[in-house]
Amino acid sequence: MAERTSHARIVSIPNEAHCLDTGRMNRLEQSFRSWADGAPRADVRLSRRRIMLIFLLIRYTGGKLNEVLALNPFEDVDFKHHLVFLGRTEKKNIRPRREVQIPEVLSEEIKSSLNDPTFKKYLGSLFKVDPGHVRRKFYERAIDSGIPPAMGAPESIRRSRAIELMQSNMPLPVVQKMLGHSTPNLTASYVAFSDDDMQQVARYFADKESRRKTSARNSFFGKIRTIRKGDIQTMVEMITVGGDIITTVITNDSLSRLGLKKGSLITAEVKAPWVILQKSDREPESTAENRFVGHILRINKGETTTEYVVRISDGTELCSIVSTENARLMGFKENDRVWAIFNSFAVVLHID
């Protein structure tokens, strides 16, 4: 497998050290909710609820502050499909608005707020709030959450959302599309995915977030490229949005039961103990069909087992678990360049 150019170079990826992790993002969100609900007067509660919705929209769409302030929530939210349309403008000949998938729980919360006659009347001026006022409230909530004020700024929330999505293994091109980045120099594998395919990928991750499922790091989302059926088993090749090829072998019965066909969108998962790490300057000679080069992002050492988190070239994180004794013998360090290897029988396919 040839080493590919990283899609990380196509999109500006924020420095994780300057972003909020999911725990702190959730703590900040809870601060906004408590602040909005704890207002002493009805008019203050309405004002605070509007600021809270602005925060929630930035937090879950990754939109820019000016984009969210320009929203007309009565027209720019599709509650049936849980979409927000960002980029409203009166100017012509500019980039069209983009659709951003949001979790169903947020869609329902916005809908419920808009159905409140008092709040609906209060929103007569929509989200036309002084940006400076919004920033001050964001800084105040950050301080209340024990977070440096600058990291509670709208731009930081937007960057943090990008990192959060990438850490849940949303493919980089989908994150890029969601944030409204341009897409130069894309590979043919990306072009093979239609706008509908990309939207389905975004919907899959939004649905998973709504269900509050823990994200399996060793999870790939892509499209079936080839199916080679044998007398007992079938080899299936899947291409991810990032351009990686995942090979798996399943039974013919599973092929029939899942209704798989060329072009189907599918999820592939690999358990962490089945991922083997090898340090090598060249691609290892191995019978394992799936081989990906990356760098060790984190090492979590326990008494009996050690977890390695490896980020491969398209930004996907793979987790490998070994005994702590073996970890000591391997001597891997953070930032080491390694190959993550697993065979086709270790891959489990899911239709979502």
Exposed/middle/buried for 15, CB within 10 Å: 0-12, 13-18, 19+? Answer: exposed
The whole-angstrom separation of Cα 265 and Cα 193 is 10
Average pLDDT of the chain to the nearest whole number = 83
pLDDT of residue 174: 80
Average pLDDT over residues 1-28: 60
More confident residue, 275 or 200: 275
Average pLDDT over residues 53-62: 94
- Domains and their CATH numbers in the chain: 7-210 (1.10.443.10), 219-269 (2.40.50.100), 272-342 (2.40.50.100)
Kindly tell me if the per-residue pLDDT of 216 is higher than 60: no
Residues 6+ apart with CB under 8 A from 307: 272, 298, 299, 300, 319, 320, 321
For residue 328, what are the CA distances in angstroms to 222, 294, 301, 305? 35, 20, 10, 11
Angle at alpha carbon of residue 343, lines to 340 and 346, rounded to 5°: 100
Q: What is the pTM of this model?
A: 0.62
The whole-angstrom separation of Cα 290 and Cα 286 is 9
Average pLDDT over residues 238-258: 88
For residue 4, what are the CA distances in angstroms to 213, 222, 291, 313? 31, 17, 12, 7
pLDDT of residue 9: 34
Written as one letter, the residue type at 283 is E
Written as one letter, the residue type at 208 is K
Kindly tell me if the per-residue pLDDT of 22 is higher than 90: no
| Full DSSP string of 317-335 | EEEEEEEHHHHHHH---TT
Q: How many residues comprise the chain?
A: 352
